[in-house]
Amino acid sequence: MSHSAMPTSSGPTDETPALEIRGLGKQFPLGGLFSRESVRALHGVDLSLGRGEIVALVGESGSGKSTLARCVARLERPTTGEILLDGVDVLKRDRFQASRAFRAQVQMVFQDPFGSLNPAHRIEHFLRRSLTIHGKTGGSEKETQRRLEELITTVGLQPDMLNSYPHELSGGQRQRVAIARALAVEPEVILADEPTSMLDVSVRIGVLNLMRKLRDDKGISMLYITHDLASARYLADRIAVMFAGEIVEQGESLDLLANPAHPYTQLLVSAVPDPSRAGSYDPVRRAELRQAVMASTSCALEGDPNQACSSEVSVRHQVGDPENRHWVRCHLYRPWAGAGGHALAGEPALPANDTEMKASA
Ligand SMILES: Nc1ncnc2c1ncn2[C@@H]1O[C@H](COP(=O)(O)OP(=O)(O)OP(=O)(O)O)[C@@H](O)[C@H]1O
Ligand SMILES: [Mg+2]
């Protein structure tokens, strides 16, 4: 792992998260130059990535997932908040000093493996360029060649593919090249923005397995952005649920999916057909739930925060066992007395507790 940009005196410990985001906000100006209108894409986002941890960021289209990743990758400048890499606030650093080193610590893999590779160049070109830009060529041509071959085999491709052009590769192979290009920089954090959503279902699992292997072998931390809860469960240690620019619930993957506490998470979970639970997908039940969610929380779900929600939404409620690091931000949430349960108060159309939720899901 590259630690070149880490502070030396009071350096990070093993407990220092690889990435920590605090109170991140992003407003995009709307309209003309003098317009005061803006879109609130992110609001008060806190999220951390432990070393070698995979966190999935899920949420519907437009909820702010890509904006979050782009702010961390410094492709976008946040309006408020802090982004700490190895405990160092990257936004406060001088733009010229260490800018490249910080960029190297975080690499982004995009959704579209077709768009990210210029068709005029061979695969070798992309990887060699990454090595060169970040000073990782190793000094001699022989060493550079060795590194190129190592990179391409690390992502499960044959060394002779270095001579191929992007159009000669399948979508899955191209996404592996995009991952190899990110790896060339020896990053500590990879932000993968829907890396498999444009791939055939049959090759998706291979790319997910590759990401997991990179975490296991190299200790790389990953933020995995997806719409697909099933793949989040498969890959991620933790899941963060993003809704209208805020993280409304977070927890260890299995616990969060088994005991979703926020009405929006419940809605997402109810939309996943779960083969392990026969007959689990009930469209009528889901429609009822959606209606209940829309009626009961006029918070961000309606785009018009009501008093109760806007005053309490920032309060985190722990859900169940603290070991699961599961919390929710919702003014309707009430821990269920005696059962350590996950109940939503008062709304008759919502499941009264997690047992009923499971039964009805
Ligand atoms: N450059 C921009 N200028 C103005 N508004 C933007 C810009 N980029 C994003 N937005 C707005 O910010 C909000 C969040 O967008 P973002 O792309 O982060 O969502 P997302 O969760 O990644 O969605 P998807 O799942 O469709 O990729 C949206 O309302 C979007 O229209
Ligand atoms: Mg996006």
Is 184 exposed, middle or buried, given 0-12, 13-18 or 19+ CB atoms closer than 10 A? buried
* pTM for this entry: 0.83
Check whether residue 143 and residue 169 sit in a common domain: yes
Question: What pLDDT sits at residue 267?
Answer: 85
Determine, yes or no, domain membership for 14: no
Check whether residue 211 and residue 325 sit in a common domain: no
Task: Pick the residue whose CA is nearest to atom 5 on ligand 1.
Answer: 28
Q: How many CB atoms lie within 10 A of CB 35?
A: 9
Which residues line ion ligand 2, judged by CB < 5 Å? 66
How far does residue 154's CA lie from ligand 2's centre (Å)?
A: 27
Q: pLDDT truncated to tens, each residue of the chain (361 aa)?
A: 444 444 444 556 678 899 999 999 999 988 777 777 888 899 999 999 999 999 999 998 889 999 999 999 989 999 999 999 988 888 776 555 556 667 778 999 998 877 778 899 999 999 999 999 988 999 899 999 999 999 999 999 999 999 999 999 999 999 999 999 999 999 999 999 999 998 888 899 999 999 999 999 999 999 999 999 999 999 999 999 998 889 999 999 999 999 998 888 888 888 776 655 555 556 676 666 666 555 544 454 444 444 445 544 567 888 888 888 999 987 667 665 333 333 333 332 233 333 333 333 3
Determine, yes or no, domain membership for 3: no
Check whether residue 187 and residue 324 sit in a common domain: no
Determine, yes or no, domain membership for 10: no
Determine, yes or no, domain membership for 248: no
Determine, yes or no, domain membership for 51: yes
Determine, yes or no, domain membership for 7: no
Q: Which ligand approaches the C-alpha of residue 59 most closely? A: 1
C-alpha angle 155-160-162 in degrees, rounded to nearest 5: 65
Identify the domain boundary among 187, 205, 236: 236
CB of 317 closer than 6 angstroms to any ligand 1 atom = no
Identify the domain boundary among 236, 266, 287: 236
The answer to whether 245 and 88 have CB atoms below 8 angstroms apart is no
Check whether residue 170 and residue 311 sit in a common domain: no
Check whether residue 220 and residue 347 sit in a common domain: no
Determine, yes or no, domain membership for 242: no
The total number of structural domains in the chain stands at 2
Check whether residue 149 and residue 262 sit in a common domain: no
Question: What pLDDT sits at residue 91?
Answer: 78
Check whether residue 182 and residue 272 sit in a common domain: no
Check whether residue 28 and residue 115 sit in a common domain: yes
Check whether residue 110 and residue 42 sit in a common domain: yes
Determine, yes or no, domain membership for 13: no
Check whether residue 212 and residue 262 sit in a common domain: no
* CATH number of the domain to which 216 belongs: 3.40.50.300
Q: Which of 81, 65, 45 has the alpha carbon at shortest distance from 228?
A: 65
Check whether residue 175 and residue 307 sit in a common domain: no
CB of 66 closer than 6 angstroms to any ligand 1 atom = yes
Question: What pLDDT sits at residue 159?
Answer: 97
Check whether residue 290 and residue 223 sit in a common domain: no
State the residue range of the domain holding 146.
19-236
Task: Pick the residue whose CA is nearest to atom 14 on ligand 1.
Answer: 64
